[in-house]
Amino acid sequence: MIVGRIHSIETLGLVDGPGIRVVVFMQGCMLRCAYCHNPDTWNKNGGTEITAEELLNKVKRYKGYFKSSGGGVTLSGGDPLIQSEFVAEFFKMCREEGINTALDTSGYGYGDYDEVLKYTDLILLDIKHVEESRHKQITGKGREGFLKFLSAAQKNNNKIWIRHVVVPGLTDSEDNIRRLGKYINTISNVEKVQLLPYHTQGVDKYKDLNIPYRLEGVPALEREKLDKLYLVLDEAMGKLPRTKKAAESHSLNDVG
Ligand code: SF4
């Protein structure tokens, strides 16, 4: 039996996939995003050990809540793909129990993605940036890992919700959002696009961990700006108004 490492579990998540969800934050991430609000999940050796069966039993306790709402379980992080063997085993068990599975990822991990994707009902896919150099500036890594995962997801025909964090001065230009929209149009099976406004909650974690915070002094993204960028995105994608709903319901999403 494979042992996974998790950071924490949120039992009534409303923003990480359809319906009410149990959100499991997993340990380990290869990226170091400038705006990350979960630096305490970076260390793949941190957190608490758990088997897939133990995690399933925890999740099953809330089945009554999430089943009736069309929800399920979402693995987030960190990046769950760091522990892809564990994720595949856990998602397989969920499938057998009729529990909807969502994978919140930036596409950076190890192992056999096909095995994970076979049991994944929805991918919440973070696009950090469409440009190689900016991607590297924001995350510390180029786009190669992302493209490898995206290619596996497209081959497996997984349903995708795209997410993009909008940070003042970093990713909030109309040009960036236009290019993002055009790029998303090249991806199949995209059901929804969510622009996640940068906020400053969680910055204190950096102080606790003694890690310098790269976006010190950057303000949270204003609602008006976000609404405007959704219009730019809609126009670039030429597919009104599927992004609008996300704008209304996801103004305070967590980032990470
Ligand atoms: S924002 Fe997500 S992908 Fe980026 S460093 Fe944080 S946990 Fe990793």
Shortest-distance atom of ligand 1 to CA 108 = 3
- pTM to 2 decimal places: 0.93
Tell me the average pLDDT across 192-207: 93
Shortest-distance atom of ligand 1 to CA 255 = 1
Residue 244 has pLDDT above 90, yes or no: no
The type of residue at 65 is: Y
Give me the pLDDT at residue 221, please. 97
* 3-class secondary structure per residue, 165-232: EECCCCCCCHHHHHHHHHHHCCCCCEEEEEEEECCCCCCHHHHHHCCCCCCCCCCCCCHHHHHHHHHH
Give me the pLDDT at residue 239, please. 64
List the alpha helices (DSSP H) in 40-173: 52-60, 63-68, 84-97, 113-117, 132-139, 144-155
Ligand 1 contact via 27 beta carbon (within 6 Å): no
Residue 202 has pLDDT above 90, yes or no: no
Chain mean pLDDT for the chain: 92
The β-bridge partners of 166 are 197
Best of 128, 139, 254 to mutate for ligand 1, by most ligand atoms within 8 A of CB? 139
Query: What kind of fold does domain 3-249 have according to CATH?
Result: TIM Barrel (3.20.20)
- What is the signed CA dihedral for 69, 73, 79, 84, rounded to 10 degrees? -140
What is the pLDDT confidence band of residue 22, given thresholds at 50, 70 and 90?
very high
Nearest to 22 by CA among 86, 75, 87: 75
Rounded to the nearest angstrom, the distance between the alpha carbon of 126 and the centre of ligand 1 is 9
Rounded to the nearest angstrom, the distance between the alpha carbon of 247 and the centre of ligand 1 is 22
Distance CA 168, CA 248 (A): 20
Percent helix, strand, coil in the chain, to 5, is: 40, 20, 40
Distance CA 223, CA 218 (A): 15
State both tokens at 235: 């126009």
Ligand 1 contact via 122 beta carbon (within 6 Å): no
With H, G, I as helix, E, B as strand and everything else as coil, classify residue 9: strand
Give me the pLDDT at residue 249, please. 39
Shortest-distance atom of ligand 1 to CA 165 = 1
Rounded to the nearest angstrom, the distance between the alpha carbon of 136 and the centre of ligand 1 is 13
Ligand 1 contact via 153 beta carbon (within 6 Å): no
Tens digits of residue pLDDT in 209-243: 999 999 999 999 999 999 999 999 999 998 644 54
Q: Which residues contact 37 (CB under 8 A, 6 or more apart)?
A: 201, 202, 203, 205, 254, 255, 256
